[in-house]
Every structure is written in structure tokens, then in C-alpha cells.
């Protein structure tokens, strides 16, 4: 597991994660940014996915092609909206579901953002206290996973500081 600061679309991985809403409407935040860089294919495939499968649940993310981006797929993790109740459980389910789907897709590397900390309002420290140990626990419990590299990619200095502090507390 790696922690890094930067633009997730510049990650050298097989798959990136989009912190999506459950209807995969990629209008704002990181989802909007990804849609603008991936081109119209991303929204078209997302809309079709929801038509065929219904809204994305926290524990069962969706995936699409990456459109114009250089990845095999984009996994769309439906993160919780702060104040909706059971946020910690929903965030943990979204992260676990994402990692299990990446393994099912047989990819070797993934970049995950700080899911729900943007437009969904999840407090950064609380999210770090869920996301980091969930990834760590998955990797320990699933040593046979196809995933060899999991990058946690955060965007700004505040997020780097918060995630680094939690990272240092959790990493062996």
C-alpha cells in the first residue's frame, strides 16, 4: 500500500476509483473531473450500467471503461454522504467492495482517492481512519489477490497531512 499526493488521473495503475453517487451522474467533484478527462463514453457507459443494474450500492461498485484515460477500467464506488447515517459502515463497504471488484477484474494495481471527503462532506480524519485500515486489512486477508499495488491518492496538502498522520498510526 502506498500513500501519495497528486492527480489520480496521472497514476501509473491499471484501475482508478471514482467516488461516485449511486446513480453514476458524474457532474461534480472528482467524478466531474474524471468525466471531463475521460470524455463522453464514461457517462454513457455509466448511464447504461444504472439502466441495466439499478443504483450502485455501497458494497457493490460498478465499473466502466476509462474512456480517453489510460486505464483498463474505472471502478465507481458509491461513497456515503456525510449525515446520511451509518457512514463508517458504508465507507468501509465501499472500499472493500472496490478492492474485491478489482481482484475480480484481475488487475494488479489500483489508485483510490479519499472517497466521500469532497462534495459528500465526509470529514477527512474520519475517512482516513476508515479507508487506511480497510485497505490494510483487505491486503492482509487476501494475500492471493491479483492486486499487488494499492495507491491511496490524496489531492491537497491538508489531506496529505491528515492521511499521513493516520497512516503513521496504523502502518506496522
In contact, 158 and 119? CB cutoff 8 Å: no
Measured distance between the N- and C-terminal CA atoms of the chain, rounded to whole angstroms: 12
Does 171 have pLDDT greater than 70? no
Q: Report residue 172's pLDDT band, with 50, 70 and 90 as the boundaries.
A: low
Q: How far apart are CA 72 and CA 55, in angstroms?
A: 23
Does 167 have pLDDT greater than 90? no
Residue 89: strand, helix, or coil: helix
CATH architecture of 2-170: 3-Layer(aba) Sandwich (3.40)
Q: How far apart are CA 76 and CA 98, in angstroms?
A: 8
Distance from chain centroid for Cα 172: 23
Place of cell 491537497: 156
Does 93 have pLDDT greater than 70? yes
Q: How far apart are CA 80 and CA 94, in angstroms?
A: 8
What's the rounded mean pLDDT across residues 82-88? Answer: 96
Query: 11-26 pLDDT, tens per residue?
Result: 999 999 999 999 999 9
Q: How far apart are CA 110 and CA 31, in angstroms?
A: 16
Give the highest mean pLDDT range of 24-28, 76-80, 162-166.
Answer: 76-80
Amino acid at each position: 500500500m502506498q500513500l501519495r499526493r497528486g492527480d489520480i488521473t496521472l497514476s501509473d495503475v491499471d484501475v482508478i476509483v471514482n467516488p461516485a453517487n449511486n446513480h453514476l451522474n458524474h457532474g461534480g467533484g472528482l467524478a466531474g473531473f474524471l468525466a471531463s478527462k475521460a470524455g463522453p463514453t464514461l457517462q454513457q457507459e455509466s448511464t447504461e450500467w444504472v439502466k441495466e443494474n439499478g443504483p450502485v450500492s455501497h458494497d457493490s461498485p460498478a465499473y466502466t471503461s476509462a474512456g480517453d484515460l489510460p486505464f483498463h477500467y474505472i471502478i465507481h464506488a458509491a461513497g456515503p454522504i456525510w449525515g446520511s447515517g451509518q457512514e463508517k459502515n458504508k465507507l468501509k463497504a465501499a472500499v472493500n467492495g472496490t478492492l474485491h471488484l478489482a481482484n475480480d477484474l484481475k488487475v494488479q494495481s489500483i489508485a483510490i482517492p479519499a472517497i466521500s471527503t469532497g462534495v459528500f462532506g465526509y470529514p477527512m480524519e474520519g475517512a482516513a481512519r476508515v479507508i487506511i485500515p480497510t485497505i490494510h486489512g483487505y491486503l492482509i486477508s487476501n494475500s492471493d489477490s491479483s492486486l499487488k499495488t494499492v495507491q491511496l491518492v490524496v489531492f491537497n496538502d491538508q489531506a496529505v497531512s491528515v492521511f499521513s498522520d493516520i497512516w503513521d498510526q496504523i502502518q506496522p
